[in-house]
Amino acid sequence: MGINRIDKKSYPYLFLKHFVAFWHNHVFYQRIVIQNRDQIPENAHLIFTGNHQNALMDALVFLFTAKSRMVFMARSDIYKKPFIGAILYFLRMLPIFRIKDGFSEVKKNDKIFQKTIDVIKNKIGLVIMPEGNHGDKRRLRDLKKGFARIAFQTEEANDFQLNMQVIPVGIDYSNYENFRSELFVNFGKPIPVSDYYESYKNAPAIAINQIKEQLAESLIPLMVQIKSEKHYDLYNELREIYKNEMIEKMGFPSSEQPFKLQTDKELISRLEIFEEEHPEQMDSFQKMVLRYRDNIQKQKLSYNIVREKTCSNIGLLGKLLLLVLASPIFLIGWILNYIPFGLSIYIGLKMKDPQFKSSVKFVISMIFWPLFHFLETLIVWFIFKDWTIVLGFFVAMPILGILARGYWVSFKKYLKALRWSRLKKNNIGVYQSIKNNQQEILSKTATLFG
C-alpha cells in the first residue's frame, strides 16, 4: 500500500487494527479512562492533535479511543528504508519532511499535503502531534505550524466550505514505561478553523500563529503542565508524594483518573504561586524532596510503602504463607508466559530513549506472545493428541499468565513491606531519617494551602 491508497479501506488493515486494539486496550494497559469523547463531532472534517510524550503509544491513543478512521503524520526519517516505509504506509502513516531533512526533501511535502486534503475531505481523521517530536517531561512544548498549514490549505482548496475542526487531546500515563500502567485520554472542545478564515485571507502567517496559540491554550487544561525548568523534579515528585493529601483536600473518592489530573493541576498551581512569592526557598525544597526520593530508591522502597505502618512479624508471616501456597500457580504461569514478555522487557531496557521503551515492549509482546502461545499449544497437541486437553491448555495459558503477574506484583509489595519492617528493626537511624524527611515534606507542602 502506497501513498495513493492510504485512505482506502483494507481488510488486512482492519483485521490487524482489531487485534492491536485488543492488545492495547485489554492486555498492555490495566485501565484506560476516556473523558469527554462525546465532544468529538460525528461525520465531520477533523484534525486530531495531542501532547507527545510516549512515541508510538501516543498515536495508538487516537486510533483506539476516538471512534473514527485515522491517518497519521510521522517524521520522514523513519521512512528511509523502503520496507519500513511500506509498513508505515500500510499502517496509515504519512511522512512529513522537515528543513533538517534537506530543501529538496521539504518540497515533497507538496504531494503529502495534497494527500492530507483528500484524507480530511473524505472525513477521515488526520492525526498530527503538533510538538513535532516526543519529549520526556510532563509539559506542552512549543507547537509547530504544520497542523495549521494543513488545516488552512485544506479549507482553501475547498473554498472554505468544509467547516473543519481541530480536536485537542490531552494524554497522561501513570507510568511511561511499565506494562499494565494506566492511560488517561482527555478530549477537549473542538476548535473551529472557520473562526480564523478572515484572518487567514488577509494575513495567513498571523492566522496560523493565532490558531496555534489557541490550540496550546486548549491543550494545557487537558494535561499535566509543569512549566518550571529548574524545579521540574520538585513538581513531578510532589505529585506522587502528596497525592493522598490532595485527594482528601479536594474530596475525591480515589487517586485514579480523572481525579488524579485535577489534583495534580491544583497542586502545581499552588506550587507555582509559592515559587513566584518565595523563589529563595525553592532550591532547598527541591533538595529536600530529592533526598527523600533517593533514600527511598536506595532502600528499594516506594512512596506508598513508607506511608504505611510497618507490618508485624505475624502479618509478614501470614503474607509469606499465602505467597508460598500460591507459588505453584505462579511458577506454571511464569514458565508458560515468560519468554515473550521477558524478551519485550529485555529489548525495552536496551533502548537509549526511555520514551521508546513502552512502544518496544508493546510491539514485541504483541507479536511474540501469540506466536509463543500457538507453538506451546502445538507441542501439547503432539504430546497428548487430545482436543479436550489442547483446548484446556489454550484457555488456561493466558489466565495463568494473568495470575502469575498478579502474584509477582504482590510478591514485590511483600518484599518492600519486609524491607520497611526490617529497616525499622535493624537500622532505626535510616528508618527515622526517612520518616522525618517525609513529615518535613508533607508539612512544607501543606503550607501551600494556607
Which pTM was predicted?
0.93
DSSP bridge pairs for 347: none
The cell for 16 is 490487524
SS3 assignment, position 128: strand
For 42-70, write each residue's pLDDT tens digit. Answer: 999 999 999 999 988 999 999 999 988 89
SS3 assignment, position 182: strand
DSSP bridge pairs for 31: 182
Query: Which pLDDT score, from 0 to 100, does residue 105 have?
Result: 73
Query: Which pLDDT score, from 0 to 100, does residue 183 have?
Result: 97
Spatial distance between the Cα atoms of 137 and 232, rounded to a whole number of angstroms: 8
Q: How far is CA 191 from CA 99, 163, 170, 215, 392, in A?
A: 28, 10, 14, 8, 52
- Cis ω on the peptide bond leading into residue 168 (within 30° of 0)? no
Residue 31's H or E segment, with its range, is strand 31-35
Query: Which pLDDT score, from 0 to 100, does residue 314 have?
Result: 96
Query: Which pLDDT score, from 0 to 100, does residue 239 have?
Result: 97
Cα-trace Rg, the chain: 25
- Residues sharing a CB contact under 8 Å with residue 226, sequence separation 6 or more, in sequence order: 137, 138, 139, 232, 235, 236, 268
Q: Which of 4-13, 29-38, 324-333, 392-401 has the lowest mean pLDDT?
A: 4-13
Examine the pLDDT at 270 and tell me if it is beyond 70.
yes
Q: What are phi and psi of 7, to 5 degrees?
A: -100, 10
Query: Which pLDDT score, from 0 to 100, does residue 2 have?
Result: 67
Average pLDDT value over all residues in the chain: 93
113 vs 443, more confident: 443
Question: Around Cβ 391, how many Cβ atoms within 10 Å?
Answer: 12
1 — pLDDT class (breaks 50, 70, 90): low
For 316-369, write each residue's pLDDT tens digit. Answer: 999 999 999 999 999 999 999 999 999 998 998 888 888 889 999 999 999 999
110 — pLDDT class (breaks 50, 70, 90): confident
Q: Nearest Cα to 223, choosing from 136, 138, 143, 165? A: 138
The cell for 81 is 528504508
Spatial distance between the Cα atoms of 389 and 391, rounded to a whole number of angstroms: 6
Mean of pLDDT values over 173-195: 95
For 425-449, write each residue's pLDDT tens digit. Answer: 999 999 999 999 999 999 999 999 8
The cell for 326 is 500460591
Examine the pLDDT at 14 and tell me if it is beyond 80.
yes
Q: Where are the alpha helices (DSSP H) in 351-386?
A: 357-384
Spatial distance between the Cα atoms of 275 and 270, rounded to a whole number of angstroms: 9
> Dihedral of CA 242/244/249/253: which sign?
positive
Examine the pLDDT at 28 and tell me if it is beyond 80.
yes
Degrees, nearest 5: CA angle 351-61-340 = 45
Q: What angle separates helix 428-446 from helix 232-241, to the nearest 10 degrees?
A: 100
- 219-257 in b/e form (b: 16+ CB < 10 A) is bbebbbbbebeebeebbbbbbbbbbeebbeeeeeeeeeb
- Long-range residue pairs from 107-115, CB within 8 A, at least 24 positions apart, any chain: 108/76, 111/3, 112/3, 113/149, 113/150, 113/153, 115/3, 115/4, 115/6, 115/7
For 74-88, write each residue's pLDDT tens digit. Answer: 877 777 777 777 878
For 200-217, write each residue's pLDDT tens digit. Answer: 999 999 999 999 999 999
The DSSP bridge pattern shows strands 182-187 and 165-173 to be antiparallel
Query: Which pLDDT score, from 0 to 100, does residue 140 have?
Result: 97
Query: Which pLDDT score, from 0 to 100, does residue 81 have?
Result: 76
Q: Nearest Cα to 308, choosing from 175, 410, 419? A: 419
> Dihedral of CA 404/408/409/413: which sign?
positive
Q: How far is CA 31 from CA 174, 257, 381, in A?
A: 10, 10, 35
Query: Which pLDDT score, from 0 to 100, does residue 145 have?
Result: 92
Query: Which pLDDT score, from 0 to 100, does residue 292 have?
Result: 98
In this structure, the dihedral spanned by the alpha carbons of residues 371, 86, 76 and 190, taken in order and rounded to 10 degrees, is -80
The cell for 163 is 467547516
Which amino acid type is present at position 349? L
- First and final C-alpha spacing in the chain: 61
113 — pLDDT class (breaks 50, 70, 90): confident
Percent of the chain with pLDDT over 70: 98
Q: Nearest Cα to 125, choosing from 6, 26, 44, 24? A: 44
The cell for 74 is 510521522
